[in-house]
Amino acid sequence: MSNIRFIANQKARQQTDKVDVSFLSCAEAEVVRGFFKTFEGYEPTPLVGLKGLAAELGVSSFYLKDESKRFGLNAFKVLGGGYAIAKHICRRLGVSIAEMSMERLCSAEVREALGEVTFVSATDGNHGRGVAWAANRMGQKSVIYMPKGSAVTRLENIRAEGAQASITDLNYDDAVRLAWKDSQEKGWVMVQDTAWEGYEEIPGWIMQGYTTLALEALEEFERQEGEAPTHVFLQAGVGSFAGGVQGLLAQRYGERRPVTAVVEPELADCIFRSAAAADGNPHFVTGDMPTVMAGLACGEPNTVGWSILRDYSDGYISCPDWVAANGMRILASPRPGDARVISGESGAVTTGIVECLMRMPDMAPVREALELDGDSRVLVISTEGDTDPVMYRKIVWQGAYPEIEG
């Protein structure tokens, strides 16, 4: 047995009283992308067609969106944090972000009108680096708290963007609570990609920011294939990224949207546990979450993201760390004719899970439930590159986290 767990969501295609996802519409996504187009160096990240891998897996096509190329930050997270910071500044200035450019946001005129703002966040690395990068370019300060066990390389990358950053002795969710406490006591602005009652607007802006990569991917997929993907696999931590992409899929395609599955590490599978509880409410993972997928090591779902994933996703998968490690090795050792992709632990887990589903005999019921077969056109998103170079080498070069049956 593979120790991979799956829950199908039959209601996703049946119920009509779904949560409203109009804030993730194609029109809103175009506004977001229009803002990012004003950034120096903006260009869509590559959508890589892996024909050899598709043939090996037995699917019609397999495409990977490579977010390691985003603004030189080796991860996608700046799309969320950067957009939320810009929206906050525009709100305070009383202007629409549709009329704002990055050049103007970085101007002395705006800094003088706004005054000094400190943005605070908790992160394992990628989100915090994006927040620090955006705040620094807009002439503002940032404070970043990281959970215990965070890679020193990620800490150094955040500090290099001008942030006051530190690794705490807390898990991720407690680091979020520390950031919230300081924001309330010190008048800082919290930019966090999780949400709870009373803190939903900024997380919603972050989710809107992520629609840029989804819109890019879907347009390029349709250009190359002539039609939309049939299946999209989305990794989840708190569910902000997955919820943002899922919402756009629902808005763009309606009832014809692709089959979607949410993938999480078994040591931090709060979305999976929430689905398993079957009461419609978010459920938590507590304590330490020592998964190698550091970017997904979150125990408390984003309430906004969870409601979207609850109502629109077709399945939820909880998997061991070796699935992500396999995905990294697969992408680093491409089939003839395929491009090599450097994907980190959280970025490669969706490639790893598709390979498991198509290869393993005990995964046949999951394949059938998801209607994953030789006609499937699969889209995955590699959300990060080798943001922890030491761990990347341990896994890809030295074979850490080998596949284990049990």
- Which positions are catalytic? 77, 124
β-sheet bridge partners, residue 192: none
| CA–CA dist 45, 48 (Å, integer) | 9
Q: Nearest-CA neighbor of 257 among 304, 316, 193, 311?
A: 311
Q: Are 381 and 47 in contact (CB under 8 A)?
A: no
Q: Are strands 141-146 and 189-190 parallel, antiparallel or unpaired?
A: unpaired
Q: How many CB atoms lie within 10 A of CB 359?
A: 13
CB atoms within 10 A of CB 156: 10
β-pairing verdict for 61-66 and 47-49: antiparallel
Residues whose CB falls within 8 Å of the CB of residue 383, separated by 6 or more in sequence, listed in order: 67, 75, 76, 77, 126, 235, 241, 295, 344, 346, 347
In 42-162, which ranges are continuous DSSP H helix?
51-57, 78-93, 102-105, 108-114, 126-137, 152-159
| 122: nearest Cα among 295, 347, 306, 348 | 295
Q: What is d(CA 203, CA 206) in angstroms, rounded to the nearest whole number?
A: 5
State how far the Cα of 397 lies from the Cα of 406, in Å rounded to an integer. Answer: 24
What distances in angstroms separate CA 225 from CA 54, 220, 249, 343, one per listed residue? 13, 8, 17, 23
- How many other C-beta atoms lie within 10 A of the C-beta of residue 341? 23
- For 109, 112, 140, 349, the CA distances from 163, given in Å and listed in that order, are 23, 21, 10, 29
Query: In a 10 Å sphere around its CB, with 0-12 CB exposed, 13-18 middle and 19+ buried, how is residue 3 labelled?
Result: middle
Other C-beta atoms lying within 10 Å of the C-beta of residue 276 = 14
Crossing angle for the helix pair 240-253 and 26-36, nearest 10 degrees? Answer: 120
